[in-house]
Amino acid sequence: MTAAAKKELRAEVCHDLCVGTATCTQVAPKAFVLDQNRQAVFNENGDWEDVQLQEAADCCPMSAITVLRILPS
């Protein structure tokens, strides 16, 4: 059994920019889902890896995803 990768990043979706292409949900399906309004929503507790958040942000045609680094507490 391998330990889960430590998460150092999180993501935010700007709903003023998101147009519901679902690209992020295809690139990182454990991190993003579309809600009933076809707006992407970040699943903070999903089983995603940090690299997938950046991939999704890079693939978003509207640059609606911002990846943030979690500050150590």
Sign for the pseudo-dihedral over CA of 59, 48, 30, 17: negative
Q: Given the complex with ligand SF4, which of 18 and 53 has the nearer CB atom?
A: 18
- Interacting residue with ligand SF4 among 9, 22, 41, 67 (CB under 6 A): 22
Instruction: State the binding string over 38-67 for ligand SF4 (x if CB under 6 A, else -).
Output: --x-------------------x-x-xx--
Local structure of residue 18 (DSSP, 8 states): -
**Max Cα separation, the chain?**
41
Q: Is 31 in the site for ligand SF4 (CB under 6 A)?
A: no
Of the chain, the end-to-end C-alpha distance in Å amounts to: 28
Q: Is 20 in the site for ligand SF4 (CB under 6 A)?
A: yes
Cα separation, 50 vs 62, in Å, equals 20
| Minimum distance, C-beta of residue 9 to ligand SF4, in the bound complex (Å) | 16
